[in-house]
Structures are given as C-alpha cells and as structure tokens.
Structure 1
Amino acid sequence: MSLSFPDFITMITSNPIMLVTVLLTLGVVMVNGWTDAPNAIATCVSTRCMSVRQAIIMAALMNFFGVTVMTVFNATVAETIYNMVDFSGDAHNSIVALCAAMVAIVLWATGAWYFGIPTSESHALIAGLTGAAIALQGGLAGVNGHEWMKVIYGLVISTVMGFGLGFFIVKIINRLFKNVPLSKSANFFQYGEIFAGAGMAFMHGAQDGQKFIGVFLFGVFLSQGVTEATVFTIPLWVMLVISVVITLGTSIGGYRIIKSVGMSMVKLRKHEGFASDLAGVISLLTASIFGLPVSTTHTKTTAIMGVGASKRIRNVNWDVAKEMIWAWILTFPGCGIIGYFMAKLFMQIF
C-alpha cells in the first residue's frame, strides 16, 4: 500500500478514529524525542564540544537524514516492527488496541523522563505493542516469535557490543596518543566528537525513526480497516513528519536525559566521548544492516560504561547505572502489562 500526503489529510479530517490514532502515535514519537534522542548528543554537550542548542540543531538535521537515507536503502527495521505483532481480525478492536498501546508507552516513558532515567523507548514501544496484541488475540498468537527474536538479538548487540567497543576503542586511542600532548590532540578530538555525535544522531533516526514509521503506517492502515497489509511503501512525507516530531521532543525535554547519560554516570573527556559515540555508531549500524531493532539508549549508555570501566571500574557511577539497568529490566514486563490491561480496558469501553 502507498499513501500520498493529500490523501492522508483528507482521511484524518473525515475519519475521527484515524485522527486520534495519528495524534497518539505522534505523541509517542515526541516522547521518544525527549527521552531517547538526547542520548545521541549527550556526550557532545557534557564534554563541552557543543552547546545544548547547537547539539539539538545538529540532532534535528541528522535525525532527518538518518530516517530518510536508511529507510530508502534498508527499511528492514520498520518492516520488523510492522510484522512483529498480529493486529489482524476485527478492524475496530485492532485500532482500539493499538491506541491503548500508544497510551501505555506514553505513560511509561513520561514517568521515566520525570525521574531523569533514560529508559529505552524502543523497548517500551515493543513491549506496549506486544501486550496489546496479546490482549487483542487472547494469547501468544498475537506475537510473531520469529520476528520478536530479533529484539533479543538486538538486546545482546546493544549491550555486549556497545560495552566491548567502548572499552577497546578508548584503550586503542590511549595507546595511539600516549606521547601526544593534550594541547595538540584537543582540537582533533573536539571535531571528532562532533562528527561521532552527528553519527549517533543519524543512527538514532535510522533505528528509532524507522520503528515509529512502522507504527505510524500500522495505525493509518488499521484506521482504514486494513488489518493485513503485507506490502507497503514508505512515503517521504512520513519520514519528514517523524523526524520533525522527534526533534521537537528533544528541544522540549532533552536536558534531563543529557545530564543523566552524559554528566552523572561517567565523567568523560573529549577523546572518551568520541570513543563512546564511535562505539555506539558501529553497534547501531551493524544492527540496522541486519534489520535488528535495538535500543539507542542501551547502546549509548553501555558504550559509556565500557569507556569508564577501561580506566577503573570505580570510574562508573554504578548508582546511576543501576537505576538505568533496572529501568531497562522492568520496561518489557512493566510496559507490556500496562499495554495488555489498557487494551482490555479500551476494548471494553470503546
């Protein structure tokens, strides 16, 4: 299926259910902007390579390019999210369950943002959709196990690869620049950190932007009564809308997460910030190529932990890290259960 922008405007003005679905989906995208997107630029700000405003502008541009470029060449992440759960059957109940999942995700992510904990919006999205699909189908038939396993593979990549690359890249940098005065290498790592931060923002768009494109199209099709679209085309205007809303969310509430990730967990110098971002970019690019939906938050924070641990384990503020880890652990069951009961409740009410 394909959808032009004029057709879309006509549909949302004449179909209240579709309008509500789109607004809820964009609300989740905006929450992603103020809880997930700041991870990409946190180290650029904390190492004082860029101001918050400059970093947000850079994130805006690179998020858009990440969404558009990666989607044009490889849309497998969007397709994985689209195929991961089964919302087929009665079109009315399907759209109600999807809306319930969006409400669950917003509640979960807003709570995490309030406490400054960079919970994974990707995992909240996956958990909320899964819980709602199970409620809709009355059991695990609502989950496509083959596609869902890609989430587990992505979880391993984001944790092990992020930490490992952060650890070894900073070790290599320290070895290569061992005899170079700090005054001579400062400019190199300042620009290197900006470049790597731009790469992280690009990959955030490539990963999270695609996830929300999949959900956005899901909502549009269900609103039209189409529950089993197997082939779809992603229009450029959808990519633009998603990237703009992510950026708006980042500009509204990003500083809390920037502080938690970039300032509180590990004190980073410029070359260490560069190492953590480079590790994150490599991990996210690897996952995107194989169509694995991974968490930008997971990848970035474990890379920072790896960089901190390369000096001394004590260099990592494990109290902050522990809060994040518990948030990650609780996201799947917590947001999934909320999505399940929200879907049950919404289907009874509506």
Structure 2
Amino acid sequence: MEHITLLIGIVIVTALVFDFTNGFHDTANAMATTISTGAMKPKAAVAMSAVLNLAGAFISVEVAKTISKGLIDEGAGIQPEVILAALVGAITWNMLTWLAGLPSSSSHALMGGLLGAAVASMGIGAVNGDVVVTKVLIPALAAPLVAGLAAWGATRLTYRLTRNVSEEQAGKGYRAGQITSAALVSLAHGTNDAQKTMGVITLALIAGGALAPDAGPPMWVVVSAGVAIALGTYLGGWRIIRTLGKGLTDIHPPQGFSAQTSAAVTILASSHLGFSLSTTHTCSGAVMGAGMGRKGGTVRWGTAGRMLAAWGITVPAAGLVAGGAALLAERGNVGVTVVAVLGVLVNGAIWLASRRQPVDHTNVNDMPEDSAPGSRSDAQDAGVVAAAMSAVAPPPAGTVPEQHGAQDEESEHARTKASVSGA
C-alpha cells in the first residue's frame, strides 16, 4: 500500500461507495422472486444474499482484470481524478434509477462512467474498442436473451413435470429450490459485480504508481470490495425488489426457481470467461422468460419498456455526467473538490427524495398487480407506483386495461398470495 496519495485514497473510498450502491441496487437480482413468492422473509433473504455476495468476491478476479487492464488503454496515462469522475457518474445514475425503482445495470453505469471520463480527458483513442465490443456490448445483448430463453424453457419443463400436482403442493416443493437458486445467484453476483470495483481500485493504484502496470488486485482490495457490496446488499434495494418481483410479471414458485437458476448459470459462465455482463440484464431477462413460459402468463410490457429504455441510456447518461466531472476534476485540487462536493449534494438530495415515500421490508410486496395509477382503488399503492415511475415515462395508453381484463382470476390469486406471504 505504498505511495497512496490523498487523491488515490479519495478514489478508493468513492469506489467502495459505488460498490455499496451496487449491492443495494442489485439485491433484487437474486432475491426479488424469492421474496415476492413468499419463499423467504425479506430480511432473511437479503441477509443470506449479503453473506453469499461476500463469499463470491473471492472466487475469481478475471472480470477485475478486464476492468483494470482491458477497457482503458494503460498507455494513455489515465489519472486518478479521471477515475474519480467516472465513479461519480456511475453512483449518480445508480441512485437515480434506484429512486425510480428501475432495475438498470450498475455494471453499465460504471462502464459508461469510465468511458465518458476517459474520452473527455484523453480522447477516443484511450478506449480499447475491441474489448468494449467483445467483453461488454456483446454480453450485454446476449446475456438477457440467453437467460430469458433458458428460463422460458425451464419454466415450460417444470410445469410439464408437475402437471399432475396441485399448485399448492408444487409451490411447497419449489420453495427449497427457490432458496437454493437464489443463493446461487447471490454467489454469482458477488463473483461478477464485486470484481468491477476491484478492477477500478486496481486501475487507480496503477495510475498512481502504487502497483505495477500488470498487477492484479491485492488481497486487501478483494476483501474491502467484498465487504462493501455485502453491506449494500444487506440494506436491501427494496424499491427495485418491488419492481422486479411484483411489477414485471406474476411470478409463481416454479417460475422463480427457473428464472434464478437460468440467471445464475449465465452469470457464473460469463464470470469464468471474464465477460463483464450485467447481472441486472441477465436476471431481468430470466424473469421475463419465466413470465412467458407459464401457460397464461404475461409480461407487463409497459414496465418492461421503461426498464429497457433505462438500459439503453445507462451508458451515455453515466458517461455524460462522468465526462463533465472529468473536465472539472482536471483543473486541479479545486476541481476535484468541486466534483466531490457536487457528488455528495446531488446524491444526498436523491436519498432525501426517497424518504418521502419509503419502501422497505414491511411493504416491499405491496406492488399493485398492474403498474399504472388507477388500476386499483388503493390510492396509497397507486401513489407509490406513480412516484417510482414518474421519472421515466407513463405506461402506453390501453396497455394495462387489456392485460388486466385478461387476467382477473390470476391477479386475484396473486393478491391473495401476496397478502399471506408479505413481510
């Protein structure tokens, strides 16, 4: 830990803050379906996920090497203040999408922040385009499709295997499977996402001369990144858990098991290959695939459309914020101070806005069956949904009534189950 200057120390702390936000932003990936179906109580679910996130951080460092060595050309001379700007952009986008309850990608927010800050500071030549395409963009497109198709097939198979078993008995049988598959997703999330912070810290240490250019992440970096993401996971990203567990489709235990297992296999395979994919994209794709895999099941495409729109603008949005921050940070100590202060103020304001209509383990399963205001008489639930989604776009006219009219019986069953299994 020699030659760690004050600036590099600030970058390390900021990277761990990003890791913390990554934890609570992405808890839904592992636990949304498990909580929404009642397989586990909310607090127990996030506690288990946190422990396994920590364990997963020690499995591999291949993704960390992609971040620290492959994405940005080390020869371009990236500076610690540029990395700080990238992290501020990523954290800000994470907080905004968390406030809206949208399961967007923390990974792509970080990628966008790094790319935007690097281009603003050093030009487009600082980016290794082939690495971006092969290890980031292609996995971003392929992972949700692969996980979605796998979850669709697995859901069809599970319902076929249990076609002569009552729904109540099948649900009890799949509860243990859901817990096991959720644990596997949590382990996979720690393996893939904690490494991204390890990679950023390693990149900062290399940029500051504290590590050799070809060095991997030191053990203290691995430990601190694992602890930070685990703490964030334990807090529970309740807003996004609500959207992914209740707002995207009606998930039954066999679907939850199929979605989580498909997502975990996809994430673990990608981590082994060093692909920096989005666990959010993967798990969301699996949930949609599971939703379509059950006979009579549907996806709420209004919610899915807002989620996909957030996916599309994550990289450029985080990149623009990070690019502006990089231009400020390069002006010396004053610029770095301004970036840090603005980052604290903006993200503090986002957190204060979230306190107006808090979501926690006591009301995480209160999402109305349809995501448009006015779909139910419960004004409080409608207000929560409107607040969460107003930052993006209203649902297309006519979408919700068509879905609701086709699934009155299914929605009634889901509401009854939610009232029994909710925290």
Once the 2 structures are TM-superposed, how far is the Cα of residue 219 of structure 1 from its aligned partner?
A: 1.9
Amino acid at match of 2:13: L
Once the 2 structures are TM-superposed, how far is the Cα of residue 282 of structure 1 from its aligned partner?
A: 1.6
Q: Which of 27, 36, 49 is 2:26 aligned to?
A: 36
1:120 — aligned with what? 105
| Structure 2 residue 320 is the aligned partner of structure 1 residue 337 | yes
Distance 2:25 2:118 in 1: 24
Distance 2:75 2:306 in 1: 37
The structure showing larger relative contact order (alpha-carbon pairs under 8 Å, at least 6 residues apart) is 1
Distance 2:91 2:296 in 1: 35
Taking structure 1 as reference, are residues 159 and 191 closer, same or farther at Cα in structure 2, changes over 3 Å only?
same
Amino acid at match of 1:126: M
Alignment of 1:77-116 (within 5 A): 77-82=63-68, 83-86=70-73, 88-89=75-76, 94-116=79-101
Distance 2:297 2:31 in 1: 24
Measured on the aligned residues, the alpha-carbon RMSD in Å equals 1.9
Once the 2 structures are TM-superposed, how far is the Cα of residue 284 of structure 1 from its aligned partner?
A: 0.9
Q: Which of 292, 301, 319 is 2:302 aligned to?
A: 319
Amino acid at match of 2:86: A
Once the 2 structures are TM-superposed, how far is the Cα of residue 38 of structure 1 from its aligned partner?
A: 2.8
Query: Post-superposition, which runs of at least 4 consecutive aligned residues in structure 1 deviate over 4 A?
Result: 87-90
Q: Which of 43, 52, 55 is 1:62 aligned to?
A: 52
Q: Describe the SS at the equivalent of 2:79.
A: helix
Q: Which of 202, 206, 214 is 1:230 aligned to?
A: 214
CA offset digits 1:294-346 (Å, max 9, x no partner): 10100001111111122368721111111110100001111112222221121
2:126 — aligned with what? 142
Q: Describe the SS at the equivalent of 1:104.
A: helix
Contact 2:202 2:217 in 1 (8 A): no
CA offset digits 1:202-230 (Å, max 9, x no partner): 1101110111111121123323466x712
CA offset digits 1:162-188 (Å, max 9, x no partner): 110111110011111111233443332
TM-score (norm 1): 0.89
Taking structure 1 as reference, are residues 200 and 254 closer, same or farther at Cα in structure 2, changes over 3 Å only?
same
Amino acid at match of 2:126: G
1:175 — aligned with what? 160
Alignment of 1:19-30 (within 5 A): 19-30=9-20
1:219 — aligned with what? 204
Q: Which structure features the higher share of helix residues?
A: 1
Identity score, percent: 30
Q: How many residues align?
A: 331
Moved more, 30-39 or 267-276: 30-39
Once the 2 structures are TM-superposed, how far is the Cα of residue 77 of structure 1 from its aligned partner?
A: 1.2
Unaligned runs of 5+ in 2: 337-423
1:3 — aligned with what? none
Amino acid at match of 1:134: V
Contact 1:157 1:283 in 2 (8 A): no
1:206 — aligned with what? 191
CA offset digits 1:83-117 (Å, max 9, x no partner): 21135455xx6111110111111111111111111
CA offset digits 1:227-261 (Å, max 9, x no partner): x71232541x3222212211222233511111011
| Structure 2 residue 41 is the aligned partner of structure 1 residue 51 | yes
| Structure 2 residue 150 is the aligned partner of structure 1 residue 165 | yes
Taking structure 1 as reference, are residues 87 and 24 closer, same or farther at Cα in structure 2, changes over 3 Å only?
farther
Taking structure 1 as reference, are residues 157 and 234 closer, same or farther at Cα in structure 2, changes over 3 Å only?
farther
Contact 1:162 1:299 in 2 (8 A): yes
CA offset digits 1:9-50 (Å, max 9, x no partner): xx66xx321221111111111110121233211111111111
CA offset digits 1:62-99 (Å, max 9, x no partner): 11221112x1xxx2211111121135455xx6111110
Taking structure 1 as reference, are residues 126 and 305 closer, same or farther at Cα in structure 2, changes over 3 Å only?
same
